[in-house]
Structures are given as structure tokens and as C-alpha cells.
Amino acid sequence: MSNRYDAFLLVSFGGPEKHEDVIPFLENVLRGKNVPRERMLEVAEHYYHFDGMSPINTQCRELISALQTEFKENGLQLPVYWGNRNWDPLLEDTVRKMRDDGVKRAVALATSGFGSYSGCRQYREDIERATAAVEGAPRIDKLPPFWDHAGFLETQIARVREALRKLPGADVVYTAHSIPLSMAQSSPYETQLRTVCAAVNSALGLPEPVLVFQSRSGSPTQPWLAPDVSEYIRGTDAKKLVIVPVGFLSDHMEVLYDLDTEAAEAAKERGIEFVRAATAGTHPRFVKAIREMVREAMVNGPAYVCAPDCCKPAVRPARP
């Protein structure tokens, strides 16, 4: 095996961990975007519903701990670092720490499994900005989206199977973060999602999959991927539903609020039994899959990292 990498970097979205973090965090997320402040304050209430605590940072820590054990037990001698796009630990600070620790070249994984501008290319741009801001920064190669990796697919199959044990005979509905149609049309996002859902249902002997979307945040006049998960629940004839957040790697606020709160309430109002499947999180097969991806990158180098032209936006989003 080549020793081309001397560190692993987990890159994530970030989230607030206390009440006073919420507004500064959302201002970071929305900087340069045309989102009314009223909408930002509305989203802030979702976080306040949970005392300002998003689960995403805790889940990143749990994933890092699992990866450290997985790497050590399998002879992969790589220190694990973590940097966020929008909240502490910020990516630039992490890159500075990596440089100070003597890291020369790292392989990075973003906590997003599907290809789109915001889920793939933007993370690479985040890495490029952070390394440009830190003199002597290590070179960092980003792993591609892992939607079709066997370990990710097997994890999704396991999560759906677990949920169906809790609610046998339920209809299975998959959900992912909605994105603008313009972004969807210029990326493989929706096609990849539908391919994964079909593969999971096929493995479990389930009928043609249903894919819905959630958490749209743009102008009402701008078309986004639909239908919305809560709208689907209000219109379905199903008596039992398993909702599978296939588009989310871990429990973001969108999972806790939009699914566990709003979608669950919509199901209760209709008298529908409701179970939300777990995200991939720290499932052992997914942790192993990350190790497999890192080893493959160490062997194959540029052939196994994001291509320079991946996931280009149809129209580049406004920058601050």
C-alpha cells in the first residue's frame, strides 16, 4: 500500500450546541444567500425546540471515535481530524492544526453521500478555501460521494430492516433534503437517490420505492424537488409508515424536527403508525466502508478522489 496520505479529515456541516449559538450559526449558513431574516428566525425556533442543540456535532464525535478504533484495529495508522463548514471546529482552524502537527497530505470525507453542488462540490471548495488561507497547509484530497459503495448500501438495507422489525407490514418511504430544480437538473443527486432506494427495496423484496423530500428553504416562487414528506403523509392511504432518511448520513436538525417532530405529528393526525429508520451514523458496516474507501484512495490516489469537474452548479450561487 502507498503511504501517500498521513491523515484523515472528516468534513461536516456543523451545528450549534447551545441556545446562544443558534443565530450566529444560522448567519454563517445563510451568509451571501437571499433568505429573509424572518425565515432565519423561523428556522431558529426549530433549534430552540431542542434547547439550541443540534445532534450533528455529537454524531460526528461518535463517528470519529468509531473510525479511530476501526483504523487502529485494521492497521491503518492515520490520525483523524474534523472540521466544519459552519460551526466549531471550523475547517480553517482544523487545517491550521493539521499543518502544525506536521500533516503533509490528507484524505477527506464529507458527511454527504450523494452528488450535488451543496453536497459534494461545495465541500471541496470549502477545503480549497481553508487550505488557501493557511500558509503551509497540507494537500487535502476529497473522497467522492459514496452513494454506490457496497458498505453504504448494506447499511441502508440494515436500517430499513431494523425499522420494519419495529413496524411489520409498513409502507417504506424514503426522504432526502430537497434542493432547487436547477441544481437537481445539473447534478446526479436525484438519480443516485432513486438508484439507492431501488437497490434497498430489491434486496428486501419490497415494491417500487417511494422517494419524497423535505426541509426546503428557498423562495416559494423557486421550484424545488417535491413532494414534501409531510404533504405526502397527509395524502397517503397507508396505515403504517416507515420513513427512511436515506439522504442524511446522521441526525441533522432536519431529521429531528422535520421528521421526528413535524412528519410524526402529521402521521399522528391521520392515525398512521409511524417509525423513522435510523441514519447510517456509526453502523459498523458504514464505519468499515469508510476504512475501505480510505484504503482504496491510498492505493489508487487520484483515480479515487473527486474529479476536478464534479458536481458543477448550473448557476454558481452568490458568494459573500
Q: Would you give per-residue pLDDT tens digits along the chain (320 residues)?
A: 455 899 999 999 999 999 999 999 999 999 888 788 888 999 999 999 999 999 999 999 999 999 999 999 999 999 999 999 999 999 999 999 999 999 999 999 999 999 999 999 999 999 999 999 999 999 999 999 999 999 999 999 999 999 999 999 999 999 999 999 988 998 999 999 999 999 999 999 999 999 999 998 777 788 999 999 999 999 999 999 999 999 999 998 999 999 999 999 999 999 999 999 999 999 999 999 999 999 999 998 767 888 878 887 765 444 33
Contact of 277 with 204, CB cutoff 8 Å = no
Residue 118 grid coordinates: 451543496
Determine the pLDDT at residue 18. Answer: 96
The β-bridge partners of 113 are none
In the chain, which ranges are continuous DSSP H helix? 22-30, 37-48, 56-73, 91-100, 122-133, 150-166, 181-185, 189-204, 229-235, 253, 264-269, 284-300
Question: By C-alpha distance, which of 48, 39, 40, 38 is closest to 16?
Answer: 48
231-290 pLDDT tens trace: 999 999 999 999 999 999 999 899 999 999 999 999 999 999 999 999 999 999 999 999
Determine the pLDDT at residue 246. Answer: 98
Backbone angles phi, psi at 32, to 5 degrees: 85, 0
User: pTM higher than 0.85 for the full model?
Assistant: yes
Residue 267 grid coordinates: 402521521
Question: Domains in the chain and their CATH numbers?
Answer: 7-146+282-304 (3.40.50.1400), 150-276 (3.40.50.1400)
